[in-house]
Structure 1
């Protein structure tokens, strides 16, 4: 009789390892085998918990987008004035974990998948809708749409420019859109 070792939280840990590998290597170089090796579990454990890489990727990016949306919403909900909301937008661009090298890689990996596959576009569409709803607590719908695009665009620029633009550039752009 084979005794199966039960490890509570293994599935969650595998998703965390998958997220780390995607941030380090990219989607194309992340595999079941690599996740199992990094997590120190038998390869069969992967097939026990997941039907395939597609399920892992969808879960990783769904969780990533939901976490980012929750932080974004909380930052804007904490603002009690329009000026505070503008500063919250500046802080999101400069201080949120999406502004980190890890966050930048993960968001761009998700965007690349979403550009090719409608299943991932559902994730990004839901994420954008939540972002705009949070912005609409302080701004009209059209301004919220422009700010959402600004946040995304500045994130790309900050990730790729050397050195990245500072807060004053972001603050000026937010002020121009929200006038």
Structure 2
């Protein structure tokens, strides 16, 4: 007869570990992320990490999967709520400028996801899924050529904002998004 089944006494611990792992990744980079740093950031005993995850790579993969699910879901909901092409353009501008998406820590997290995805197949798949989910969300309002152009702006402009350490010129972003839409959307 088997012994009693072990049940975690903290049902939210796994989620705290994943969230803490992302914080550690953003703060230190994947290359300096350790079990100890994650446990300290999560406020859990070091041994509890191996209770929920086989190894450090699995924790990192879970953190990046969480990023994908959360951020792509937020983007989709925001675009789904837009009731006109103009409202959808405003959502895109907000995403680029960091109002609803692409805060500096999020962009740093994406840098790490993109880089680690070059060396880890599971995270590489998440990176590709991110691209496809972004395009699918944009397709709610725009045609494929416009989607590709807007996706490049959504991905690239926030990176420049982080590199420069300065907020973006919202007026310039609005004018650029509008120009892209007018140039590429049929009937615009």
TM over 0.5: yes
Describe the SS at the equivalent of 1:7: coil
For structure 1, the residue ranges without an aligned partner over 5 or more in a row are none
Residue 174 in structure 1 maps to residue 177 in structure 2: yes
Partner residue in 2 for 1:74: 77
Equivalent residue in structure 2 for 1:141, among 126, 140, 144: 144
Residue 110 in structure 1 maps to residue 113 in structure 2: yes
Structure 2 matches for 1:8-157, cutoff 5 A? Answer: 8-96=11-99, 98-157=101-160
1:97–1:103 contact (8 Å) kept in structure 2: no
Shift of 1:128: 1.3
2:98–2:158 contact (8 Å) kept in structure 1: no
1:98–1:107 contact (8 Å) kept in structure 2: no
Describe the SS at the equivalent of 1:61: helix
1:157–1:164 contact (8 Å) kept in structure 2: no
CA distance in 1, matches of 2:146, 2:7: 56
Deviates more, 1:53-62 or 1:29-38: 29-38
1:14–1:39 contact (8 Å) kept in structure 2: yes
Shift of 1:117: 2.8
Deviates more, 1:52-61 or 1:24-33: 24-33
Distance 1:107 1:98, change over 3 A: farther
Deviates more, 1:17-26 or 1:83-92: 17-26
Across the aligned residues of Structure 1 and Structure 2, the Cα RMSD in angstroms comes to 1.9
1:76–1:134 contact (8 Å) kept in structure 2: yes
TM-score scaled to structure 2, two decimals?
Answer: 0.86
Higher helix share: 1
Distance 1:5 1:56, change over 3 A: closer
Structure 2 matches for 1:156-171, cutoff 5 A? Answer: 156-171=159-174
Describe the SS at the equivalent of 1:137: coil
